[in-house]
Structure 1
Amino acid sequence: MDALITPLHVADADALAVLQNRLWRLTYGGLLPAQLLAARDDDANCRVWRDRAMVHERDGRSAEGAVTLVAHDAAGVPVGWATTGPARDDDAPTAIELWSLYVAPELHGAGVARQLLAAVLPSPPAHVWVVRGNGRAVAFYRKSGFLLDGTTKFDERLGAHELRLVWHRAPN
């Protein structure tokens, strides 16, 4: 599928908030604490996404310096997003971090994630953190040229361990 990739707009916020909650429950069930996933509220998440989108429309990036691109299907419905920004760890191996990349499950394998990744990170270097146990994400990033560097951390906010992958060069 050829997705239309655009910067984050307020018009996308509610659909992305609901999609994010659905994706988190599908992706992280059994990997993150059940109470964390159950507590995700669509209305609250819509407010977060609207605020983020308003700043993004005004400044071209979030207050933290992150850029979010949104993938839309042929009908203009948001079906995924990717966000990059400054590295959030003091000992980061690269200055740029892929903060998030999510695509609606019905479009897994359709090339939308590849399109988003290419649009938001046109060239290395960069790194990304993946929740341990998310084999689908690790496989996608490895296929895209990222390598596990052996670094792990426990994310208190998520209540889970994460693995770091680093992208130093494009895949052959």
Structure 2
Amino acid sequence: MNHDDFGVPEPESLTAMGAADEPIAESSVRLALPAEADAIGEIQVAAWRRSYDGLLPADVLADLNPAQFAAQWRAALIAPGEARNRVMVALAGRTLVGFAAITASDDPDSDPRHDAVIAELAVDPEATRAGHGSRLLNAVVDTIRADGFSRVTVWVNSTDDVLRSFYTEAGWAPDGASRELDLYGDGSVRVKQVRLHTDPSTED
């Protein structure tokens, strides 16, 4: 996840003229298309390289392959499975600058009928500080509400104060749950995460 796009959103401009002189929204959020999987993979790798800097070895981050991520996203977009599995994208004009993936929660203490989870939310590090993360989060919560979920959660690294502040300033709060990820499966690199939650019915 990218964590720099957590300032006060800029006022949304009205329109920008496209190549064919068609007005397009300067910033918008919508459901992702399979053709956008490559751009999503590129953004995820760029965001992970920033987010996990200092947590993962530099060579591991350098070896992250956008094409591999893109292949997984393309498959998920073509065959999402349950109807409430969704990927949303943030756009600056026609340029994809961020994405979020939402699904029913599979946490042991959650009820997938009522609990959703933001599995991933990332903004291109080159497009931060323009309000895209806030617009994306607002659209995600609106979608979760429309899909009938009554609770939504997200896991954040315990040391990531910026990301945690982004969510808490938007009305989210810790729910007391935590977990430790064993990134390599051999105990050599562990990352502690805490869970935040909100009631989508109370979000504006």
Q: TM-score range by the shorter chain?
A: 0.7 to 0.9
- Superposition map of 1:72-151 within 5 A: 72-74=91-93, 76-92=94-110, 95-122=115-142, 123=145, 125-151=151-177
Point out the structure with the larger helix share.
1
Structure 2 residue 54 is matched with structure 1 residue 23: no
Q: Give the TM-score, by structure 2 length.
A: 0.71
Distance (whole Å) between structure 2 residues aligned to residue 40 and residue 96 of structure 1: 28
Amino acid paired to 2:179: K
| Matched position secondary structure for 2:44 | helix
Q: Give the TM-score, by structure 1 length.
A: 0.83
Structure 2 residue 69 is matched with structure 1 residue 69: no
The answer for the alignment partner of 2:61 in structure 1 is 37
Q: Which runs of 5+ in 1 are unaligned?
A: 56-61
Query: Contact conserved, 1:7 with 1:70, CA < 8 A, in 2?
Result: yes
Distance (whole Å) between structure 1 residues aligned to residue 199 and residue 73 of structure 2: 31
**Percent identity between the two aligned chains:** 27
| Matched position secondary structure for 1:165 | strand
Structure 1 or 2, whichever has the larger Rg, is: 2
Distance (whole Å) between structure 2 residues aligned to residue 155 and residue 36 of structure 1: 16
Per mean C-alpha deviation after superposition, the further-off stretch among 45-54 and 29-38 is 29-38
Distance (whole Å) between structure 1 residues aligned to residue 161 and residue 75 of structure 2: 32
Amino acid paired to 2:131: G
Per mean C-alpha deviation after superposition, the further-off stretch among 85-94 and 114-123 is 85-94
Amino acid paired to 2:125: P
Matched residue pairs, number? 165
The answer for the alignment partner of 1:153 in structure 2 is 179
Query: Contact conserved, 1:31 with 1:131, CA < 8 A, in 2?
Result: no
| Matched position secondary structure for 1:121 | helix
Q: How far apart are 1:23 and its partner, in Å?
A: 0.7
Q: How far apart are 1:107 and its partner, in Å?
A: 3.1
Give per-residue Cα distances to partners, 1:98-157, cap 9 Å, x unaligned: 111111223333221111111111256311100221221101000111112232101234
Q: How far apart are 1:33 and its partner, in Å?
A: 5.1
- RMSD of the alignment, in Å? 2.4
| Matched position secondary structure for 1:155 | strand
Per mean C-alpha deviation after superposition, the further-off stretch among 19-28 and 120-129 is 120-129
Distance (whole Å) between structure 2 residues aligned to residue 31 and residue 139 of structure 1: 20
Distance (whole Å) between structure 2 residues aligned to residue 164 and residue 101 of structure 1: 14
